[in-house]
């Protein structure tokens, strides 16, 4: 049954292509014309964006790790001191988000 559905979908796409009068040679030529531009745009914008995302992700991981260890040390001393320290970390993170990271 899956094979029949696949054959019907393929035949439908072929008939749609025949009725639409698309020139595949022209479309191939257009793709070969604009492919270097697409590669250039990907290399100029997407790759640096990915690098920035990884850098900000690493910074966020280090920030969370720093506060996590600070809170573990605070809770090992006293329960109320740990609660106060947790609130301080919460407000510090909120201020960092609001004012930006230094």
CA distance 8 to 25: 25
pTM across the whole model:
0.45
Distances (CA, A) of 68 to 8, 34, 55, 65, 101: 57, 49, 20, 5, 18
pLDDT (tens digit, 0 to 9) for every residue of the chain, 102 residues total?
778 888 899 888 888 877 877 777 888 888 899 999 999 988 898 888 888 888 888 888 888 888 888 878 877 777 777 778 888 888 887 888 777 765
φ, ψ (nearest 5 deg) of residue 45 = -115, -45
Question: How is the chain split among helix, strand and coil, in percent rounded to 5?
Answer: 90, 0, 10
CA distance 60 to 54: 10
């Amino acid at each position: 049954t899956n094979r029949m559905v696949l054959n019907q979908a393929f035949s439908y796409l072929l008939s749609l292509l025949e009725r639409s009068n698309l020139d595949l040679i022209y479309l191939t030529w257009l793709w070969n014309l604009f492919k270097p531009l697409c590669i250039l745009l990907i290399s100029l914008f997407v790759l640096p964006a990915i690098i920035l995302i990884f850098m900000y992700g690493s910074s966020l991981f280090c920030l969370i790790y720093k506060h996590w260890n600070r809170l573990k040390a605070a809770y090992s001393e006293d329960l109320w001191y740990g609660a106060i320290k947790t609130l301080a970390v919460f407000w510090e993170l909120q201020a960092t988000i609001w004012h930006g990271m230094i």
